[in-house]
Structure 1
Amino acid sequence: MSADTGAPVLLWFRRDLRLADNPALAAAIDTGRPVVPVYVRDDEDAGDRAPGGASRWWLHGSLKALADDLASRGSRLILRSGKAADVLDDLLQETGATSVFWNRRYEPWATARDEAIKTSLKERGIAAKSFNAALIREPWEIQTKDGGPYKVFTPFWKALRGLGDPDRPEPAPDRIPAPDALPKTENLDDWKLPPEKPDWAGGLRHTWTPGEKGAQEQLASFVDEAVMAYDDKRNFPGTDGTSRLSPHLHFGEIGPRQVWHAAIAAGMSATGQPMPKGVETFLSEIAWREFSYHLLYHFPTIPKEPLRPEFADFDWKDDAEGLKAWQEGRTGYPIVDAGMRELWATGWMHNRVRMIVASFLVKDLLVHWRDGEAWFWDTLVDADLANNTASWQWVAGSGADAAPYFRVFNPVLQGEKFDPDGTYVRRWVPELKDLSGKAVHAPWTAQPLELKEAGIALGRDYPEPIVDHAVARKRALERYQRMKDGND
C-alpha cells in the first residue's frame, strides 16, 4: 500500500517501540501522508551512559518485533546509526519529508538534544512535533501549591490521582501508509547487540519475550491472575505477585495508560464496587514510576549527585572485595545472594529484594550507591535512569522521600518476613535447599549436625557472612550521625 497525498512524515522511534497507544504514530497517520518509521542508534543517545549488556540484548528483540509488526501493516522500520540530528537530516533529503514526529524522552541529555533538533528543524521550515507516550502526566503538569516540583511521594500521588484517569489508549492501526520507495536500512544483526562470546543471555531468553506482543501478553496475564491480590502478594519474592512489566514499560513496548486502564477494568469487572485495594496499590506503583521521572526532569543532576546536598559529605567506603562479593551473590546472606543471582540469571530482580540488596550494599558495606546503580544499569533488562537513580537514592537516604538514614534493613529478618518458607532463597541459592526452617536465612546459626545433614560446610559450599550485620549497622549509623552533625 502506498500513499501519494504529500511529502512523507518521518516517524522517529525511541523508547516507544509499539504501535498501539503511540501518539506520534497516530498523529503521523492522521496527516494522510506516507510515514517513514526510523530508529536511530545514536552513541550519544544515553549521554555518558552507554546501554548495559542486558539492555542491548532486550533492544535487539524489541526492534526485531517492531520491524515485524510494521511489515505486517505495509511499512518497514528503517535502521540507521549516527548522531540523531545528522541521520534525520539525511533522511529528510532522501525522502523529501517535511515533518518529523516523535515521542518525548526525559533524560537531561535527551531533552537538551531534542530541543536543539526541534529548533533547528523549525528554522528550516520542517515541522517538528513531539508527544507524550511514556507517562500518565507530563512532569510539568503536576505542581505543588507553590508551583514547584514535589519531593515527597504521597502528596505527588494525591495530586496525580486528583487529575483523574488518563486518556484511554488508542489501538494499533490496521495499516500504515508507506511511500512508493523507502530509504535504505541497516541490518539489525550487524549492530551486534546480543552477547556472542560468551553468550550469557540464555536465562534472559528463557525468561522474557521482548516486543509489543510479549508486553500485551504479560499485562493480560497479570490483570487476569494477580492484580486483585497485588497488595497482599507483591512483597513476597517466592510468589508470582508482581506485574513484571518494568522492561516492557522502559522500552515503550507498552505504555502506562494501557497498564492503568487494564488494571482499572480488571478491578471494576471483578466487583463493580470502589476500586479494590490490590488495584489501587498497583496504580500507586505506576505512580512511583511517574514520580521518578518527575524528579529526574526537575532535578537533572540526580544521576550523579545526591538530591540532599549534605550527603555529598558522606564517608563512603572503598571496598572492592565487598562490592565484588555482592555482585556475584556470595555475601553469606542468603536473601541478598538470591537476589543478586536472580539478577545475573534473568536480568531482573523482585522489587522487595532490590531494596534489601541495595540497603546491604550502601549501609552494611558502606559502598557508594552509584556503584550499585552502575551494576544494575549493566545487568537489568529494565535499567532505567529515572527509576534506578530515584530508587538507589531512596535507599541511601539521599533522595526524595527517602528512607530515614537510620533505617537499615536486616537481611535475615527481611528474609524471614518476606520469604517465610525459604522458597525464593532455595530457588536461587540451591546449595541451601536442604536446610530447614529459619536456618535457610541464617545458615551460620544452624547446628553442626543440621549443616552436615544438608551437605553444607560454611566457607566451602556457602560463604560465611562477609560482615556482621549488627556491627555494620552500628558503623553505618555512626557515619550518618557524623555527616548530620557536620551539616548542622
Structure 2
Amino acid sequence: MNHPQTSGLAPSILWLRRDLRLDDNPALAAALSDGAPIVPVYIQAPEEEAPWEPGAASRWWLHWSLGALDASLRARGNRLRILRGPSLEALRRLAAETGARAIHWNRLYDPATRARDTRIKQTLRAEGLRCESHKAALLFEPWEILNGSGQPYRVFSAFWRACGRSLHLEPPCPAPEVIPGRPESGETLTLDALDLLPRIDWDQGLRTAWTPGETAALERARAFIDERLRDYGGMRDRPDRPGSSRLSPHLHFGEIGPRRLLSLIVAAFGDPTRGAAEPYVRELGWREFAHHLLHHFPETPTEPLDGRFGAFPWAEEDVEGALRAWQRGRTGIPLVDAGMRELWHTGWMHNRVRMVVASLLTKNLLVPWQAGARWFWDTLVDADLAGNTLGWQWTVGCGADAAPYFRIFNPVLQGQRFDPDGAYVRFWCPELARLPDKYLQQPWTAPDTVLSAAGVRLGVDYPRPIVDLARSRARALAAWERIK
C-alpha cells in the first residue's frame, strides 16, 4: 500500500532475522522514525551460519513464524519480502531496486552471525548506505555488564546482581497500527520456496504442541503470568506439571522480546527482583548470561571454557551405539527415555529433564558433550546456540558457573523426586504404565512376578539399562581425577 505522506521518500529497509515481531522491535521503530516507506525483508542464508545453520525443528518453526509475520505486516499495509543470500548481495539488490538509503536490523550475538553483520555494515556504509543496528534480543548488551576489572562475569550470581542494579528499563514500544510500504512489486520468493518444512511427515507432534508467531507468543506469555507464574518457583522442576512458561522458542525467534515479557511481569507483580516473580525473572537472567558468555567466549559451542576438559578421557568404545540408544529414548532408564521421546515428538524437553539426560550421556556413558549438544540443536524448537552451549557445559562441569563435575544426576532419584506419581514417565513410556510407582523409575529392580503382572518383558517390551548407574558413576569420577 502506498501512503501519500511517504511515497516520494527513499525507503528504509528493515532486515528481519530472529526478531519476528512488530511489538517492541527497535529496528522497526527506528525505521518508522525515518518517516519513509519501509521494506521488510527476510533473507535465507543458512550457509552464513555454518556450522550452526538451523536444525530441522528450528526450520519448521521458522516457516510458520514467517507466515504469521507476513500476515501481521499485510494487516498494516505492508508485506514481507523473502530473498535468498548471500545477505550482502541480497541487501545490495534490494537497495538498488527500491532506492533505499537506510537499512535497520536488530543485533544477534552468535559468532558467525556477528562477524557477518560487521562485514555487511562496514561494506554498505562504505558504499553510501546508512546502516544501523539495534538492541532487541537482550535486556543488556554484552559490553554493558562487566566486572570491576572490565572483564566479563563468569559467575551467574555476581552477573545477575550487576544486572539487577539496572533492571528497571524503559517501557517497550507497542506494535504500530500502520507500517507504510512500497507498491506490491519487486523480487520476492514464496515461503514454500524456502523448503523449510520436512518432506517426510514427522512433524505432527510439533503441530499439536505449538503455535508459532507473535500473537501466540503474547497469548502464552499473558496466560503464564496470569495462571502459573505465582507458583513457578515450586512447580518449575516438575515435568509432570504444566509449571514452565514454554516461552523459550518464542524468545529465540524474537516473537516476543525480553523487555516486553519483563514489562508484563512488572505490571502484574511489581518489583521483578522480589516475591513470586523472582524465580522466573532469574531464568531470564540465565538467558542473558548465556548470550553474554557466547559473545565473550565465541569458541565455547565446541570447546570447553575450562581448558582442563580438553584432555578429558571420553569413552572410545561403542560411543555410536550409546549415543543412538540415548537419541531414540531406548536407554532403559525411564526418566531419560521419557525426556528423549518428548524431545523427538514435540521439539521440546522440560529443563529439569534436560539436565538429567545430559548428565547420563556425558557422565554415565562418557559420550562427549558436543554430540549431545548437536542432537539438541537439530531436534529442539528452541535450539539457541547460547542457551544450548551454556546448558551442556554447565551440566558437564566445564563451563562458566558450572555444576561441579562430581554432581552426577541419579535419574532414578530424580524421577522419584520430580515425577513422584510417575505421570510423566507413564505418558512417554506407555509400555511401563502398569508398573507400580515403586518400580516405575527402575524397572530392572522389579521381581519377575511384578513385571509379568504389568505386561513388561525387559529386553523385549522395554530395554534393559544400557549402563549400570553405580559403576558408571564411579568410572566418571575416576575420569575426573585424571584431569582435575
Structure 2 residue matching 1:11: 3-state secondary structure: strand
What does residue 160 of structure 2 align with?
A: 157
Once the two structures are superposed, what CA deviation does each residue of 1:176-223 show, in whole Å capped at 9, x if it has no partner? 011245422101112211112x21000000000000011011111100
- The amino acid of 2:56's aligned partner reads G
Q: Is the contact between residue 231 and residue 277 of structure 1 (CA under 8 Å) also seen in structure 2?
A: no
Return the match for 2:284 from 283, 286, 289.
286
- Give the one of 225, 229, 232 matched to 1:230: 232
CA distance in 2, matches of 1:320, 1:164: 46
More displaced stretch, 441-450 vs 306-315: 441-450
Assess if the C-alpha contact under 8 Å between 1:39 and 1:78 holds in 2. yes
- The answer for the alignment partner of 1:85 in structure 2 is 88
> In the aligned structure 2, how far is the partner of 1:309 from the partner of 1:14?
33
**What amino acid sits opposite 1:286 in the alignment?**
L
* Percent identity of paired positions between Structure 1 and Structure 2: 53
Question: How far off is 1:258 after superposition?
Answer: 1.1
- The match for 1:301 is 299
Aligned to 2:61, the other structure's residue is in SS state: helix
List alignment gaps of at least 5 residues for structure 1: none
Give the Cα separation in 2 of the matches to 1:356 and 1:244: 18
Match of 2:220 among 209, 213, 218: 218
Matched, 1:414 2:417: no
2:382 corresponding residue in structure 1: 382
1:44 partner SS = helix
Cα contact 1:43–1:83 (8 A) shared by 2? no
Quote the Cα distance in structure 1 between the aligned partners of 2:154 and 2:242: 32
**How much does 1:267 deviate?**
1.7
Aligned counterpart for 2:68 among listed residues 31, 54, 65: 65
C-alpha distance in 2 between matches for 1:278 and 1:350: 21
Say which of 255, 260, 263 aligns to 1:261: 263
Tell me which amino acid in the other structure corresponds to 2:54. P
Distance in 2, Cα, partners of 1:66 & 1:483: 50
Return 5+ residue gaps in structure 2 as ranges: none
Q: What is the distance in 2 between the residues matched to 1:275 and 1:383? A: 27
Residue 449 of structure 1 aligns with which residue?
Answer: 449
Aligned pair in 2 of structure 1 residues 240, 59: CA closer, same or farther (>3 Å)?
Answer: same
Deviation string 1:213-242 (CA, Å, 9 cap, x unpaired) is: 110111111001110100000000000000
Of residues 6-15 and 166-175 in structure 1, the stretch that sits farther from structure 2 once superposed is 166-175
Shift of 1:275: 6.1
Q: Which residue is 2:113 aligned to?
A: 110
Flag the 1:122–1:210 CA change in 2: closer, same or farther, 3 A. Answer: same
Closer, same or farther in 2 for the Cα pair 1:122/1:442, shift >3 Å?
same
Structure-2 separation of matches of 1:275 and 1:183: 49
CA shift in 2, pair 1:298/1:276, >3 Å:
closer
- Secondary structure of the residue aligned to 2:143 is helix
The residue type paired with residue 314 of structure 2 is W
The AA in structure 1 aligned to 2:327 is Q
Match of 2:327 in 1: 327
DSSP 3-state at the match of 2:431: helix
Name the counterpart of 1:176: 179
Contact kept, 8 Å, 2:164 with 2:273, in 1: the verdict is no
For 2:287 and 2:359, how far apart are their aligned partners in 1? 20
Runs of 4+ in 1 over 6 A off after TM superposition: none
| Number of residue equivalences | 479
Q: How does 1:465-480 map to 2 (within 5 A)?
A: 465-480=465-480
Residues 225, 265 of structure 2: 8 Å contact kept: yes
Q: Determine the structure 1 residue equivalent to 2:210.
A: 208
CA root-mean-square deviation: 1.2
**What residue identity is the alignment partner of 2:269?**
G
User: Are 2:432 and 1:432 aligned?
Assistant: yes
Using the alignment, how far apart are the partners of 2:136 and 2:293 within structure 1? Answer: 18
Question: Hey, what's the Cα distance between the residues in 1 that align with 2:189 and 2:272?
Answer: 51
CA offset digits 1:56-98 (Å, max 9, x no partner): 1000000000010000000010000121000000001100000
TM-score, normalised to structure 1, is 0.96
What amino acid is aligned across from residue 279 of structure 1 in structure 2?
A
Using the TM superposition, give the Cα deviation of residue 263 of structure 1 relative to its aligned residue in structure 2, in angstroms: 1.8
**Is the Cα contact below 8 Å between 2:272 and 2:278 reproduced in 1?**
no
Q: 1:265 Cα shift?
A: 2.0
Which among 166, 169, 184 is matched to residue 166 of structure 1?
169
SS of residue in 2 equivalent to 1:36: strand
On the 8 A contact 2:137/2:258 being kept in 1, the answer is: yes
The whole-number CA distance in structure 2 between the counterparts of 1:159 and 1:182 is: 49
Partner letter of residue 22 of structure 2?
L
How far the C-alpha of 1:347 sits from its partner, in A, is: 0.1
* 2:265–2:272 CA contact under 8 A, matched in 1: no
Structure 1 residue 278 displacement after superposition: 3.0
Shift of residue 289 of structure 1? 0.4
AA matched with 1:297 = H
Deviates more, 1:39-48 or 1:80-89: 39-48
Q: Distance in 2 between matches of 1:320 and 1:261?
A: 46
Matched residue SS, 1:102: strand
| 1:147 aligned partner, one-letter code | G
Compute the displacement of 1:419 (Å). 0.6
